[in-house]
Amino acid sequence: MKQLLYNQLTERKRVGRKSFTVLIDPDKVDANKIDRLVSISMEANVDYLFVGGSLVISNNLDECIKQIKASCNIPVILFPGAPSQVSKYADALLYLSLISGRNPELLIGQHVISAPFVKNSGLEIMPTGYMVIDGGAPTTVSYISNASPIPSDKNEIAMCTAMAGEMLGMKLIYMDSGSGAKRPVPETMIEKVATHIEAPLIVGGGITDPEKAYRNCRAGADIIVVGNAIEKDDSLIKEMSAAIHSVPVIA
Ligand code: 1GP
């Protein structure tokens, strides 16, 4: 299996280089918006683009990714809300198992059904332990997944879940309080998880200001994902990127 991007991520983690990811929801962008987001992202040295959403209602995933790839070389990683959200035009796919929940369909069921299709896509597959953390109010992901999120004050549950996911072979851990969450993942929880796993740690959901992104990185997040706040104000891309990239690397 291809490991190009994953090797890059682990190398970045090894030297303490933090990454900034802009999340693009194909339902919320048109061609002009994609062009704008891509051009600002290139200028701001965004490291990765995630494409996906819990609900992808429109049928323009391929077109959206083709347009992005035509105008930039930032790696595009699929962040699928459903097995149908696979596009061969992306570079890689977060192969998500919802390890914080107890819904067998999202732990393994949908993976079994889509396995041949995913394998034939030729995409780099990144096995990802996906942990939904309570963000203060129901989010699309917490509702759609039909699974309870981890309470935001239960750091030990988050730690044990991430450790179990890593020992089961997951190569990335993603802590997400859901798009537009009122409360992003607390730093104490990020720190607890980060100190007990070796896999690169992705954190997202409800991050609206660069200071919070910076503090998350200092707490141990390796990759910060921002979607909702950027949809509202894309000038944030530059500030977020600068804050995340200002975290000192390991000397
Ligand atoms: C959601 O982690 C992502 O799955 C990003 O969340 O849209 O709130 O930035 P936001």
Give every residue of the chain whose pLDDT is below 50, as ranges.
none
Q: Which atom of ligand 1 lies at the shortest distance from residue 23's CA? A: 5
Q: How far is CA 93 from the centre of its chain?
A: 10
**Separation of CA 228 and ligand 1 centre (Å):** 6
**Separation of CA 206 and ligand 1 centre (Å):** 6
User: Taking the domains of the chain in order of start, what are their residue ranges?
Assistant: 4-245
Pocket of ligand 1 (CB under 6 A): 23, 176, 178-181, 204-207, 225-229
Q: What is each CA distance from 25 to 80, 81, 134, 151, 159, in whole angstroms?
A: 10, 10, 21, 26, 29
**Separation of CA 251 and ligand 1 centre (Å):** 31
pLDDT at 79: 97
pLDDT at 57: 72
Q: Whose CA is nearest to atom 5 of ligand 1?
A: 205
Residue 208 tokens read as: 């609206």
**Separation of CA 184 and ligand 1 centre (Å):** 9
**Separation of CA 149 and ligand 1 centre (Å):** 15
Q: Whose CA is nearest to atom 2 of ligand 1?
A: 204
The CATH number that domain 4-245 falls under is: 3.20.20.390
Q: Which atom of ligand 1 lies at the shortest distance from residue 207's CA? A: 9
